[in-house]
Amino acid sequence: MKKIFALAALAFAATTACAADNSWYVGGDVGSTKFKGNGESDTKTGFGATVGYQLNTNVAFEASVRRLGSAKDSGVKLSVNAIQLSALGIAPINNEFSLFARLGVSRNSLDFTVNSAEVSFHKTKAFFGLGAAYQIDKALSLRAEYANLGNNKVDVAGVPLESKIHQFNLGLNYAF
């Protein structure tokens, strides 16, 4: 009986792989990143670049780099960046429109420069996102997404700082 189930699972996986769209794509987006922590909130404009592989109609994998935001004030320069790997579960609504959920891991970096002295903090966090995509033509799609990068805690000279990071992105993808 176990062999029959294993054979059925293998046959299902093979037919899914054969029916797959199997396409590489690249994308870019611009968005708003909201930082909340220690009783304060700030919003910065960010942007990102993505390389992805759509395994089939319902599954894709992506690697992204993002500038979440930057600021400069009174000789202090701050930049927040992320490198992300994620899997997408895609639910096509029709030929043009689909919804997706994202689950992945993000390496968030906070870089300070104060009077030419540089300090960096790094946190690796699980993150999730929800979004929608509209297929403009065979190769080009428009995407909108909300992503939650979690609660990032760092210790700056004995002072604990905490920041919740949320993103709202709008972008284009081009499939090969």
Q: What average pLDDT score do residues 110-130 get?
A: 86
Q: Is the pLDDT of residue 84 over 60?
A: yes
Per-domain boundaries in the chain? 22-175
Q: What are phi and psi of 167, to 5 degrees?
A: -125, 145
Across the range 75-82, mean pLDDT stands at: 85
- Would you list the DSSP string of 126-166? EEEEEEEEEE-SSSEEEEEEEEEEEEEEEEETTEEEEEEEE
Q: What is the pTM of this model?
A: 0.80
- What pLDDT digit, counting tens, does each position of 44-55 carry? 999 999 999 999
Mean pLDDT, the chain, rounded, equals: 85
pLDDT of residue 27: 97
CATH of domain 22-175: 2.40.160.20
Cα–Cα distances in angstroms (integers) from residue 77 to residues 38, 40, 110, in the given order: 20, 18, 11
